[in-house]
Amino acid sequence: VMQLSKGGILSSRLVIDAMGNFSPILKQIKGGRKPDGMCLVVGSCAHGFKENSSSDVIYSSSSVTKVADANVQLFWEAFPAGSGPLDRTTYMFTYTEPQSTSPSLEDLLEEYWKLMPKYQGVSLDELEILRVVYGIFPTYRNSPLQAAFDRVLQFGDASGIQSPVSFGGFGSLTRHLGRLSNGIYEAIDGDLLDSDSLSKLNPYMPNLSASWLFQRAMSAKQKLDVSPSFTNELLHVNFSCMQRLGDPVLRPFLQDVIQFGPLAKTLGLVMLNKPQIIPSIFRQVGIPVLLDWSVHFFMLGLYTFLSAYIDPVIRPSLEELPLKTKFQWKRRLEAWKYGAGLDYEL
């Protein structure tokens, strides 16, 4: 129930919180808890790029560098804009832990204006800036967020369903939209709006939790105990191995979909091709993080097995179950499928 300004009342059976990372409801649930990581993004869309036929997804042109008082590893993304043949969007982003030494968006934007012309091979004087974009994307290890209240469901970025290495969750939301819309309809239709039932719509997903290792590996430490070029070396060997393994391995990863088979193949090939990088990985991410990640990697394999072999056995008998039990099992089967990345089709 919402009390309106003129004394009216707006009631609803279910409140869907789609107010993003900084939702006031989300702040209440988190209780002021600091994010475990952040992705800081600055960029612009500009007119005047004569060479405008290529794009970058993750591009790094330097090793760890200083921005303000912080060590950061800077990455770039660029692609032609749809507003015109000479219009191009460029982003500069970094992953960091939330602390007082982290650079501000203003610091990053100043660095962006210095580095972007060199990255794109143009002069700022040749460009007409159409718009400037910037954002902070906080990430939490315990995601997606379980429903904390009856009749209130977090949706989209507010639910934490996005990958910790992405700029928000538009891509992940589109992948999960069918699952969520069907689940919400069934929850309302069956009056299954308690917090426990709603939590089944934002379940544990091992492929999402496994992505944490990648954010940690791509975040520069303030006290470096690895080479400043470590992240670039790691990305180079990983992408080289994925390219050798082909599109079934490379394309899902580029779209933030982690799958057990492709990930296991990539890790195996990396260890064979460049075993000397393994000690640096341990120093960069830490043994506790690696042990935690190993659990999620095992669960990723388990969910893959359950979705591929147990789901077909269980699914035909779902319609015979009581309403609430059927709802819970349908959500469980979806969690196996989406948590293993098997919703992705090449």
Could you read off the pLDDT of 72-113 as tens digits, one per residue? 999 999 999 999 999 999 999 999 988 878 899 999 999 999
Mean pLDDT of 300-307: 98
Q: Which two tokens stand for residue 120?
A: 């794109």
Mean pLDDT of 292-304: 97
> Which pLDDT does position 97 carry in this prediction?
86
Mean pLDDT of 169-173: 78
pLDDT grade, residue 1 (50/70/90)? Answer: low
> Which pLDDT does position 130 carry in this prediction?
98
Q: What domains can you pick out in the chain, each with its CATH number? A: 17-33+140-202 (no CATH), 37-136 (3.30.70), 204-346 (no CATH)
Pairing of strands 15-17, 152-154: parallel
pTM score, whole prediction = 0.91
How distant is the alpha carbon of residue 41 from its chain centre?
14
Mean pLDDT of 223-234: 88
pLDDT grade, residue 69 (50/70/90)? Answer: confident
Give the separation between CA 302 and CA 292, rounded to whole angstroms.
Answer: 16
Q: Which two tokens stand for residue 171?
A: 């891509």
> Which pLDDT does position 172 carry in this prediction?
81
Decide if 327 contacts 334 (C-beta within 8 A): no
Helix, strand, coil shares of the chain, percent, nearest 5, are 50, 15, 35
Mean pLDDT of 189-204: 97
pLDDT grade, residue 3 (50/70/90)? Answer: confident
Query: Please, where are the H alpha helices in the chain?
Result: 24-30, 105-120, 170-189, 195-199, 206-210, 212-217, 230-245, 247-254, 260-273, 278-285, 287-305, 311-314, 323-339
For 200-239, the three-class secondary structure string (H helix, E strand, C coil) is CCCCCCHHHHHCHHHHHHCCCCCCCCCCCCHHHHHHHHHH
Terminal-residue alpha carbon distance, the chain: 44
Could you read off the pLDDT of 115-127 as tens digits, one per residue? 999 999 999 999 9
Q: Is the pLDDT of residue 244 over 70?
A: yes
Q: Is the pLDDT of residue 228 over 80?
A: yes
- Can you tell me whether residue 167 is helix, strand or coil? coil
Q: Is the pLDDT of residue 2 over 90?
A: no
pLDDT grade, residue 270 (50/70/90)? Answer: very high
Give the separation between CA 328 and CA 318, rounded to whole angstroms.
Answer: 10
> How many C-alpha atoms does 324 have within 13 Å on its Cβ side?
7
Tracing tokens 């507003």 back to the chain, one arrives at 83
> Which pLDDT does position 221 carry in this prediction?
83
| 168 CB-contact burial (10 Å; exposed 0-12 / middle 13-18 / buried 19+) | middle
Could you read off the pLDDT of 142-158 as tens digits, one per residue? 889 999 999 999 999 99
